[in-house]
Structure 1
Amino acid sequence: ATKSNDTTMWILQDTCTNAYESMIVYAPVDITGMQSVMNGCDSSSLAIMPSGFSILPDGLESRALVITSKRNEKASEGGSLLTMAFQILANTSPTAKLTMESMETVNTLISCTIQKIRTSLHCEDA
């Protein structure tokens, strides 16, 4: 777990990479609640809303790689498929409707996450 900019939250993270996929799952957790769980207290009251993404081969062998490890590298092994999942508490009321501001925030989060993944993997601009 690493500290985020918010001093009351940690980011709990798990990663997995093998020949077939790469996956990152993470969740912000309350520091006080997490410390209680780490000391043996009941974890049922600790709210965990995991988010994350996975990158898998797309199964198509006939086109150049979309994601490459080197900027000038071209290969004919197929492309990659990115799947992202976010859990965001926009409102505590189950009947509340999303506001335009909430929708814009989610859109920005998704766009920024995709761009950061593309940048970190040295993706070609499409």
Structure 2
Amino acid sequence: MNANQSSTLILLQETCIDASGSLVVYAPVDILAMHVVMNGGDSGYVAILPSEFAIVPDGQGSHGSSPHDSNGGRNVSGSLVSGSLLTVVFQILVNNLPMAKLTVESAETVNNLISCTVQKIKAALRCES
């Protein structure tokens, strides 16, 4: 590997897309740990912590307006407005010591991970805001 390559693989565990929404479940796994397992090593030492994101329609555009919406669920041009609810779930092993306290650096890392993930999902879906 060179310095420009990631040291993490993404294992896609589940995907589902239907009228009720979309779900993607995945787990980041260290490449070196995966090579050890693929060469007969003990898989018990590989942390596989599933994460996910789900996108479900908010139902505002197709099922009437929100009680807080003075435009009857329509935008300025009169078109029905609909949106989605994005739920992002991460399982992250920050420290394997049971009594360890969360550090400011760990909290900033998690915050950056969430922000970056949401921005990438929005970009992939070509969302405006």
Fold-level match, TM-score > 0.5? yes
Matching residue's letter, 1:31: M
Deviations 1:55-103 (A, max 9, x none): 00123232369xxxxxxxx952632111110011110112111000000
Matching residue's letter, 2:25: V
The reply on whether 1:16 has 2:20 as its aligned counterpart is no
Q: Distance in 1 between matches of 2:84 and 2:9?
A: 31
TM-score computed with the length of structure 1 as normaliser: 0.71
Deviation at 1:28, TM superposition (A): 2.0
Contact conserved, 1:64 with 1:79, CA < 8 A, in 2?
A: no
Gaps of 5+ in 2: 66-72
Alignment of 1:43-62 (within 5 A): 46-60=46-60, 61=63, 62=65
- Residue 35 (structure 2) aligns with: 32
Q: Distance in 1 between matches of 2:94 and 2:127?
A: 31
Alignment of 1:74-113 (within 5 A): 76=80, 78-113=82-117
Deviation at 1:32, TM superposition (A): 3.2
Question: Quick one: structure 1 residues 18 and 34, their matched pair in 2 at CA, closer, same or farther if it must change by over 3 Å?
Answer: farther
Q: How many residues align?
A: 109
Identity %: 50
Deviation at 1:27, TM superposition (A): 0.6
Deviation at 1:43, TM superposition (A): 5.9
Q: Distance in 1 between matches of 2:34 and 2:89?
A: 23
- Residue 70 (structure 1) aligns with: none
Question: Quick one: structure 1 residues 77 and 43, their matched pair in 2 at CA, closer, same or farther if it must change by over 3 Å?
Answer: farther
Moved over 3 A (4+): 41-46
Gaps of 5+ in 1: 66-73
- Residue 114 (structure 1) aligns with: 118
TM-score computed with the length of structure 2 as normaliser: 0.70
Deviations 1:94-122 (A, max 9, x none): 21110000000000001111111111111
Matching residue's letter, 2:6: N
